[in-house]
Amino acid sequence: MLVRFLACFLLLRAVYAQALQFDATETGEGFPFKLRSGFLIVVEGRIGNLRNLKFALDTGVTRSIVDRKIADKFLLIRHPRAIFAFDRVVGAEAATFPEVQFGAIHVANVPMLIANLVDFSTFANDVDAIIGSDFLRLGTFTIDYDAKKMLFRSIDSLEAADARKSNPGLLTVELWVQGQQLRFLVDSGFPDILLFEDRLRKRVPQVRVEHEMNRFCIGDRLHAKRAILPKTCLGAREKDVAVLVVGGPPDNVLPGIIGLLGIASLKAHRIVFNYASNRLAWH
């Protein structure tokens, strides 16, 4: 979600001891989603007996988060947690919810975080939960922007164990920038390409950022700078791409990550996510 200093920089990367099982298979029909603000994927879902909830799908979040107003409707054993939201620590809790369902995906006894979602994003004021990679990484899913549908293919328990081993957290991709291969976090909850300036200049000391880097505010908290980054390979072609630039999080948060690749920036018709193989495909 925006502002991604936000939930994307969760320090919680725990691998569940309990294997989550999805009752889902990919079908030709899939299930519908709505696109907010041109980038945020929102589906209808259910938690327990609460129906018609709005779930935002966010590949940049490690642990799914339920808004406190929804969690308060359940009798839950809660445990305090802290989420590092880039420039501050946000109070949260962890609890096990009896049942979560959206589309064909159905999960029972699932641990999730609880927080006030508006603390993470100005776009979350009408969202009931953020669904992160703890759900999404246990299958291959496709976002069809033309049909406004999501397709999900579940994987068996052995594949799921391998997926957790090979990718315990988030989906990343490597892009070539001015002759250097740099790793980006794939983020469906962010609208643009975002670079951590201090990390970028350490890797590419002679990086060229063209045009005046005017300050730009995303939401009500994140102050970035707009820029053009020349000679960037986004797919098969090298081109100049529009980016946002910020200072970046502390070194121990998202180590090795140079920035965020907001999938909306790909302007794709269809995107396929595969956490087990850490692959992203689009056309």
User: What is the total count of domains within the chain?
Assistant: 2
pLDDT in tens, 174-226: 999 888 899 999 999 888 999 998 898 888 776 666 655 555 445 556 677 88
Residues 156 and 81 in one domain: yes
Residues 193 and 212 in one domain: yes
Tokens of 20: 């989550």
Query: In this structure, is residue 74 part of a structural domain?
Result: yes
- Mean pLDDT, to the nearest integer, of 219-244? 79
Residue 71 has φ and ψ, to the nearest 5°, of -60, -30
Query: In this structure, is residue 9 part of a structural domain?
Result: no
H-helix segments, the chain: 68-71, 133-136, 157-166, 197-203
Domain boundary (144, 166, 188) is at: 166
Query: In this structure, is residue 139 part of a structural domain?
Result: yes
- pTM equals 0.83
**4 or 51, greater pLDDT:** 51
Query: In this structure, is residue 242 part of a structural domain?
Result: yes
pLDDT in tens, 138-147: 778 999 999 9
Domain boundary (166, 195, 224) is at: 166
Angstrom distances, CA of residue 214 to CA of 2, 227, 228, 241: 20, 8, 11, 16
- Mean pLDDT, to the nearest integer, of 248-265? 88
- Mean pLDDT, to the nearest integer, of 256-267? 92
Mean pLDDT value across the chain: 79
Domain boundary (116, 136, 166) is at: 166
Give the model's pLDDT for residue 48: 95
- Of 217, 213, 227, the residue nearest 259 (C-alpha): 227
**What is the span of the domain harbouring residue 135?**
31-166
Residue 247 CA to its chain's centroid (Å): 20
Residue 120: CATH number of its domain = 2.40.70.10
Residues 67 and 162 in one domain: yes
Pairing of β 238-246 and β 193-196: parallel
- Of 263, 126, 252, 238, the residue nearest 185 (C-alpha): 263
pLDDT in tens, 61-91: 888 999 999 999 999 999 998 876 655 677 8
Residue 245 gets the label, from left (phi > 0), alpha (psi -120 to 50) or beta, of beta
Q: What share of the chain has pLDDT > 90, as a percent?
A: 40
